[in-house]
Amino acid sequence: MKQISLLQIGDIHFDSINKSKLISGIDHKDQHFNGNLIKKINCNTICTTILKKILREMQDSANKIIIFTGDLSNRGDQKTYETCVNFLQDRIPGSFFNPSSDSHIFIVPGNHDVDRNKVQLIDDYIPKFERINVILKELKFPEIPLDGIKFYNYQFNKCSIRFFSINSCIGCGEIRFFEKEITDQLKKSKLNKKNYDILDTPLIQSADIEQVKEEIEKDPNTLPVILAHHNLLPQKKPRIALYAELLNGGYVRDELLKLNRPILFIHGHIHDDPIEVIESPVYKNAKVVCISAPLLFPLLNDDQTNFGFNKIKLIFTDTGVPLGCEIEKIRSMNTRENDYPIRIPFVKPFESHAYLSTIDKIVLEQLRNMNSTFYFFELLDICKKNKKSIKSNTELNDCLIRLNWFGLINYSDDQQCVNSPVDNRIIKKVIP
């Protein structure tokens, strides 16, 4: 199998980072101890820990894509936005800024990146984003989408991905560009003009969704990856605010499901990191995988306790067919939830036989004569007796991982048994 890795970096809010938490990595009750002692044991703060992890991942040549899902600054502070981009540029390897490289950066605007001083100056929503693109262009970053979507065809080692960057912040800070029915209702309400201006109403333009659909339908063998700041599904934590969720989220979900194929929707905004899959009994092959990034660093007046970023591996067959994705939650603190990557297959078992290799079919034939549950070494012994079968542990292990992605077996491979010898790993038949 082949894979392409993405690093998903969520909200940074560079000017609101809680420096007290970053400076002190010890219990606050121990602050009265000797300063030299504190300095010696206080070497791994939250910020340092995350930076070390993200720099290590960026320098790994296997990680080809970096995605920033918006909110680099806070409340439209453009000076802070520029400081944050400078901070990032100093740490991202130069290969990501080389047009001829396989590495690439994507970035979308967040509601806190909007220059609210320009919201009411002119009857156009573009000016509130223009300064962002000036900053990004000067520092050799890709520009954010303004009017319409930005799409990019990424091909590597026979694997094809089409990235769609969407501006979901059209309605943030103003109401003039909402649908007419919504604008009329707001004008009838008791909200004054000042209340209109502070609304953070996420909205994806219908024309953008139509364009995304048209582009996706052009190539059935390419994996679509949609990038936006706002969440497609309602967030877990209640917000008592007018239009706090994506205004036309239901419409967007419905249109994506109609495409009847796997789609990744990558976002930030909610300062939480759920991974959710939207499916439909009508569109059997539809699977919209929504992946949220957490806060990168702790913020002032925020009650989050874990921070970091996501590493998303996109898995393909040797011929470039998308098999699924694997999400690794890289966090400042290890929890049971973050111990193992989360695997989401795209191919259903009854469809997978079309993608099986000759070796896969031979191993499946051997499985028919075995019990429902058995050990790796038992299968290997049988395969070695078959002259047409595979001979080595590595070959069999690779084959079993593929069959596991196809949903034909359950295999406790090294994502769950890192320290377990290969011979003792357990295999369970799923499809007789």
Domain boundaries, the chain: 2-346, 351-429
Q: What is the largest CA-CA distance in the chain?
A: 81
Tokens (6 digits) for 350: 């009854």
Asked if domains 2-346 and 351-429 share a fold, the reply is no
Compute how many other C-beta atoms are within 10 angstroms of the C-beta atom of residue 358.
8
Tens digits of per-residue pLDDT, 409-430?
Answer: 888 765 455 455 677 788 888 8
Q: Quote the pLDDT of residue 22.
A: 46
Q: For 129-184, how does the pLDDT look when each residue is reduced to its tens digit (9 = 90+)?
A: 888 999 999 999 999 998 889 999 999 888 999 999 999 987 776 655 556 666 67
Instruction: Check: CB of residue 143 under 8 Å from CB of residue 167.
Output: no
pLDDT in tens, 28-48: 555 566 556 555 555 557 777
Q: Which of 109-113, 160-164, 198-202 has the highest mean pLDDT?
A: 160-164
What pLDDT is attached to residue 386? 74
Instruction: Tell me the average pLDDT across 236-259.
Output: 85
What are 425's two structure tokens?
């790993």
Q: For the stretch 47-78, what's the b/e string if a residue is b when 16 or more beta carbons lie within 10 angstroms of its beta carbon?
A: bebbeebbeebbeeeebbbbbbbbbbbbbbbb
Asked if residue 26 has pLDDT above 60, the reply is no
pLDDT digits (tens, 9 = 90+) for 207-227: 999 999 999 999 888 999 999
Among the listed ranges 29-43, 92-106, 380-394, which one has the minimum average pLDDT value? Answer: 29-43
* pTM: predicted TM-score of the whole model, two decimal places: 0.87
What was the pLDDT predicted at 387?
A: 65
For residue 57, pLDDT beyond 80: yes
CATH number for the region 2-346 comes to 3.60.21.10
**Confidence at residue 425, expressed as pLDDT on a 0 to 100 scale:** 84
Query: Which two three-digit tokens encode residue 95?
Result: 């290969």
Fold of 351-429: Arc Repressor Mutant, subunit A (1.10.10)
Which has the higher per-residue pLDDT, 156 or 6? Answer: 6
Higher local confidence (pLDDT), 117 or 252: 252
Which one is predicted more confidently, 124 or 84?
84
* Residues in CB range of 158: below 8 A, 6 or more apart: 2, 316, 318, 319, 320
Q: Taking residues 12-37, what's their average pLDDT?
A: 62
The rounded mean pLDDT for the chain is 83
pLDDT band with cut points at 50, 70 and 90 for residue 23: very low
How many Å apart are CA 191 and CA 41, to the nearest integer? Answer: 53
